[in-house]
Amino acid sequence: MSIEFKLQALKENVEIVEVNAIKVNVGDIVTKDQPLVEVQADKAALEVPSPAAGKISQILIKQGDQVKIGQLIFVIDPAGAGAGAAAASSSPPPVPQKTPVAASAPAPAAVPVATATATKTAPIVLAHDDNKVIPAGPSTRRIARELGVDLGHVPGTGRHGRVSEDDVRSFVRGSGSNGSSGGSISVPPLPRFEDFGTVERQPMSAIRRATARQMSLSWSIVPHVTQSDLSDITDFEAFRKSQTKGPKLTISAFAMKAVVVLLKEYPVFNSSIDVAGNQIIHKKFYNIGVAVDTENGLLVPVIRDVDKKSIAELAEELTSIAERARQRKLDSKDLTGGTFTITNLGGIGGTGFTPIVNYPEVAILGISRGRLEPVVHNGEIVPRLMMPLSLSYDHRVIDGAIAARFTRRLAEMLENPYQLLIHA
């Protein structure tokens, strides 16, 4: 009897994945746990193994498809495993068959947004029956703890009333807690754009959906403020370009090292807020996320233990992890555990911007392109290469004065790169 292989849940609260690559063809003999397909689940690329040995008799997906959990993706003939082995020793290779391709999975129906049961003036943390089992995964429970939400009062929109991360966020927004606007925002339906002209509808990729969720969460929870400054990197650039041996020393690599020095001087920037416990969690490790622009969307791989690595080592690791990001070769470990984030748009342009804090972090540094400007230097007006710095931070835990000191110290460290040798 053939085995109908339906896509199983691969990651908490991920209901749809995108097919990156199909690793087998119809007629292939596969072993149990052999990777059959690579999918994009949120921002991590995952391989899906075969549930049994056998012969692939049908492939019902194709590269680029949006596939829902529980959707039929392969049909496997378990009898084909032994028969295939015997045939291989006595018969010529089979004639390749044309792979039947199923139509792309229909776009998922819009999930109804949960409405909060609490009023605007009621607190989020409410008593409930401790014996009641709340259907929710570990990551949902973690976010609920961070936001001080009692899951017993969050309406679940998943199967069998399962509570998702989005349900928790909707509940927080509707309850006016944790820095939200103070009321549920009703999103009006879009007009029918086809009535006005030709349109093209493109499904959001897994990475784009994950980015949208994270940015919505960060923006709805964190009261953002951005502190800007300029760094005179004329001497820094001369020093950086003079280092021709070893890996290419990028501005991001120097910035990572400088940021870690400042995170030790101003530890509040390396913290998170525990709303439920009324605590600030100061982290004693230094993992820096670096935003990477890819064809599929924004990824933020994390480089660990930056304080224990040289600038050359950071430059080499940054090049490697950015390349893996562009090739969709990052796993969940590469994308988690960050304590501070850097996003560098200097290679593109701009004179400044407001980066969004990567929650549950409390700050993010934006770097823009340096440009020559007339500056008073040693009593004379001379052209100097000035680089804009933009530090966005969570105003619940960071005040403007300390943010200004942070950016000024960072600007000074980049103006005189020899300062970093003291902390290397």
List, for residues 288-331, the tens digit of each pLDDT value: 999 999 888 899 999 999 999 999 999 999 999 999 999 988 98
Residue 302 included in any domain: yes
Active-site annotation holds for 423: no
Residue 206 included in any domain: no
Whether residues 31 and 162 share a domain: the answer is no
Tell me how crowded residue 56 is: count the other CB atoms within 10 A of its CB. 22
Task: Please name which of 163, 235, 265 lies closest in space to residue 417, comparing C-alpha atoms.
Answer: 235
> Distance from CA of residue 191 to its chain's centroid?
31
Residue 207 included in any domain: no
- Residue 403, pLDDT > 70, answer yes
The residue-averaged pLDDT of 283-291 equals: 97
From CA 386, how far away is CA 351, in angstroms rounded? Answer: 10
By CB atoms closer than 10 A (0-12, 13-18, 19+), residue 87 is middle
- Residue 388, pLDDT > 90, answer yes
- Residue 358, pLDDT > 90, answer yes
The residue-averaged pLDDT of 245-268 equals: 94
Whether residues 54 and 153 share a domain: the answer is no
From CA 424, how far away is CA 418, in angstroms rounded? Answer: 10
Q: Which of 128, 282, 377, 395 is catalytic?
A: 395
By CB atoms closer than 10 A (0-12, 13-18, 19+), residue 361 is buried
pLDDT tens-digit readout, 203-228: 888 888 888 888 988 998 999 999 99
What is the pLDDT at residue 304? 97
Whether residues 147 and 247 share a domain: the answer is no
Cis preceding linkage at 360, omega within 30: yes
CATH number at residue 330: 3.30.559.10
Residue 309 included in any domain: yes
What is the pLDDT at residue 419? 80
pLDDT tens-digit readout, 21-32: 899 999 999 999
- Residue 159, pLDDT > 90, answer no
- Residue 87, pLDDT > 60, answer no
What is the pLDDT at residue 424? 61
- Residue 140, pLDDT > 60, answer yes
Q: How many domains does the chain have?
A: 3
Average pLDDT, the chain: 83
pLDDT tens-digit readout, 319-334: 999 999 999 889 888 9
What is the pLDDT at residue 1? 81
Whether residues 157 and 283 share a domain: the answer is no
Residue 97 included in any domain: no
CATH number at residue 130: 4.10.320.10
Range of the domain at 340: 225-423
CB 397 within 8 A of CB 268: yes
Higher pLDDT among residues 420 and 395, named by residue: 395
- Note the pTM of the prediction, 2 decimals: 0.68
